[in-house]
Amino acid sequence: MPTQLKPSFVSSPASALSGSPAVLGAALLGFFLISLDALIVTVALPDIGRSLDVGMSGLQWVVDGYTLMFAALMLSAGALSDRIGAKRAFGGGLVLFALASTACGLAPGLGLLVAARLVQGAAAAVMMPASLALVRQGYPDQAERARAIAIWTVGGAVAVAAGPVAGGALTASAGWRWIFFVNLPAGLLALALLARVPASPQLPARLDGVGQVTAVLAMGGLTYGVIEGGAEGFGHPAVVVSLLMAVIAAAGFLVAQARGAHPMLPLPLFRTWVVTVSLVVGFMLNASYYGGVFNFSLYLQQERGQSALHAGVMFIPMTALVAVVNLASARLAARYGPRVPMVAGQLIAAGGLLALLTIGMHTNVWVVAALMVPVGLGGALAVPALTAMLLDAVPADRAGTAGAVLNTARQVGGAIAVAVFGALLAGAESFLAGMRWSLLLAAAGLVATAGATLTLPSAKQTAAPTTA
């Protein structure tokens, strides 16, 4: 969020705001749920695997089913929110999210669980832009709105920190199904707050049907091909067909965006080098973070015999300081420009991944937890700065689209990382070998994107152009 780069906004208490507390509370709870479900499931994967008798590819789909639909529908969700009104979109998404969470918790087998996770991701995609639109509606004053958005980001930061721990605690005490049922009380509270919010205006907005369908097919085909390729081999007919479909759909998507009257992804954005690099950096940061959480959840439980609760606790050092480091990123960016925290964050995360190559089957688990810290801190340092740099590089009327594209790139990074890292784990001679290849791949990607970041202009040279 761009407001993470404004320390004065963050420091202002919620009580100082004169806008609608109901709007802010509902939006914050929605963002909390969206962020929580991207991580809470990861620590429960071994228990899900044992309970439903599924292997690595099935567990990958439990994670990626959510992320895939979230990423694929993100760009269209903003237009839908404008078209039907933010309150209606957010409320509908919230109800769908709660129903899908219930279906996840009751799922008797992998097929229904993955299907419900897909619906959860679709609902999250609708809720995300609608929650921000609600904040804009409830806080018309620009300065107050900025402070409200800064408070809104707390929901995501708390979810990132709490996700692995909550997942471990619920799985150990009540069973993995409760990681989904826990969404219901928060969802009901958000709906109660939403009932106090005035109706939102409905604005004219065109939906890009061809672009949306081809985007889903491209992302779905690629994810399926990588996941099943790791399980069945990349020469398997179904894998070849899915990857070919992904290529054809991606080509169709690009054509639709270039020639369509109302494209969901305006290709002229990519004419700016800052935009292109920022999106690749966002992709790589999420790939390293979510791929790492996926790997180490399995390592700690399946390979080291830790309980779900203990595994969740191991992630506390990595996640607990995210909000604090976000503020440090803001101060560094304000003083030195966004390149400094962007490059530093990527290199710190890459260093953490390389340090994790040293762990083995008998490494003290607290040493493992300490070595994971730089991975989380590096991302927390880089993301606010790269968001600000991206938004400074585009015209004001494209800021919403640019933010949606960045969120999409980051979600795709997480989904692809889980697919690729899982394939490496499945295809390697041992779990440790596959994990080390994953860590090397992620570290190399971060070093490469850090180098690309150094080619970006300084802060004084990144003023937004007047045209796209």
> What distance in Å separates the CA atoms of residue 51 and residue 179, rounded to the nearest whole number?
14
- What local confidence, expressed as pLDDT, does residue 48 receive? 93
Confidence of residue 347 (pLDDT cuts 50, 70, 90): very high
- Give yes or no for residue 244 having a pLDDT over 70: yes
124 neighbors 66 (Cβ within 8 angstroms):
yes
- What local confidence, expressed as pLDDT, does residue 157 receive? 76
Segment 167-179 mean pLDDT: 92
**Which of 72-86, 146-160, 224-238 is least confident?**
146-160
Question: CB under 8 Å to 335, separation ≥6 — which residues?
Answer: none
Q: What CATH architecture applies to the domain 266-456?
A: Up-down Bundle (1.20)
> What distance in Å separates the CA atoms of residue 63 and residue 421, rounded to the nearest whole number?
12
1-197 and 266-456 in the same fold: yes
> What distance in Å separates the CA atoms of residue 147 and residue 9, rounded to the nearest whole number?
5
Phi and psi dihedrals of 109, rounded to 5? -155, 175
The candidate with the shortest Cα–Cα distance to 375, out of 278, 291, 451, 253, is 291
Alpha carbon 335 to its chain centroid, in Å, reads 28
- Give yes or no for residue 105 having a pLDDT over 70: yes
Q: Which residue has the tokens 């993100």?
A: 74
Q: How far is residue 144 from each of residues 18, 295, 380, 438, measured CA to CA in Å?
A: 8, 41, 24, 43
**Which of 6-10, 194-198, 302-306, 403-407 is least confident?**
6-10
Q: How far is residue 75 from each of residues 69, 333, 398, 443, measured CA to CA in Å?
A: 11, 28, 13, 29
Environment class of 456 (CB within 10 Å of its CB; exposed 0-12, middle 13-18, buried 19+) = buried
Segment 192-219 mean pLDDT: 83
> What distance in Å separates the CA atoms of residue 387 and residue 383, rounded to the nearest whole number?
6
- What local confidence, expressed as pLDDT, does residue 400 receive? 64
| 73-403-204 Cα angle (round to 5) | 65
Amino acid at position 150, single letter = A
Q: Which residue has the tokens 């639109």?
A: 133
- What local confidence, expressed as pLDDT, does residue 396 receive? 61
**Class of the domain covering 1-197:** mainly alpha
Start-to-end CA span in the chain (Å): 21
Confidence of residue 259 (pLDDT cuts 50, 70, 90): confident
Segment 284-302 mean pLDDT: 90
The whole model's pTM is what? 0.80
DSSP code string of 385-448: HHHHHHHHTS-GGGHHHHHHHHHHHHHHHHHHHHHHHHHHHHHSSSHHHHHHHHHHHHHHHHHH
Per-residue model confidence as pLDDT tens digits over 43-76: 899 999 999 998 888 888 998 899 888 888 887 8
Segment 415-438 mean pLDDT: 89
CB atoms within 10 A of CB 22: 18
Confidence of residue 305 (pLDDT cuts 50, 70, 90): confident
Output 396 or 247, whichever has higher pLDDT: 247
> What distance in Å separates the CA atoms of residue 280 and residue 125, rounded to the nearest whole number?
21
Q: What is the DSSP letter of 266?
A: -
On average, the pLDDT of the chain sits at 84
> What distance in Å separates the CA atoms of residue 424 and residue 13, rounded to the nearest whole number?
46
- Give yes or no for residue 15 having a pLDDT over 50: no
- What local confidence, expressed as pLDDT, does residue 113 receive? 96
- What local confidence, expressed as pLDDT, does residue 142 receive? 67
Q: What is the DSSP letter of 14?
A: G
Q: Which residue has the tokens 């202002």?
A: 12
- Give yes or no for residue 263 having a pLDDT over 70: yes
The rounded radius of gyration (Å) of the Cα atoms in the chain is 21
212 neighbors 262 (Cβ within 8 angstroms):
no
Confidence of residue 14 (pLDDT cuts 50, 70, 90): very low
- Give yes or no for residue 92 having a pLDDT over 90: yes
Most confident of 8-12, 101-105, 210-214, 363-367: 101-105
Segment 394-423 mean pLDDT: 80
- Give yes or no for residue 137 having a pLDDT over 80: no
- What local confidence, expressed as pLDDT, does residue 461 receive? 46
> What distance in Å separates the CA atoms of residue 331 and residue 10, rounded to the nearest whole number?
12
Question: Where do the domains of the chain lie?
Answer: 1-197, 208-263, 266-456
Confidence of residue 96 (pLDDT cuts 50, 70, 90): very high
The candidate with the shortest Cα–Cα distance to 175, out of 240, 108, 128, 105, is 105
Q: How far is residue 338 from each of residues 157, 277, 342, measured CA to CA in Å?
A: 20, 13, 6
> What distance in Å separates the CA atoms of residue 8 and residue 144, rounded to the nearest whole number?
11
> What distance in Å separates the CA atoms of residue 371 and residue 351, rounded to the nearest whole number?
9
- What local confidence, expressed as pLDDT, does residue 230 receive? 78
- Give yes or no for residue 22 having a pLDDT over 70: yes
Per-residue model confidence as pLDDT tens digits over 151-172: 777 777 788 778 888 899 999 8
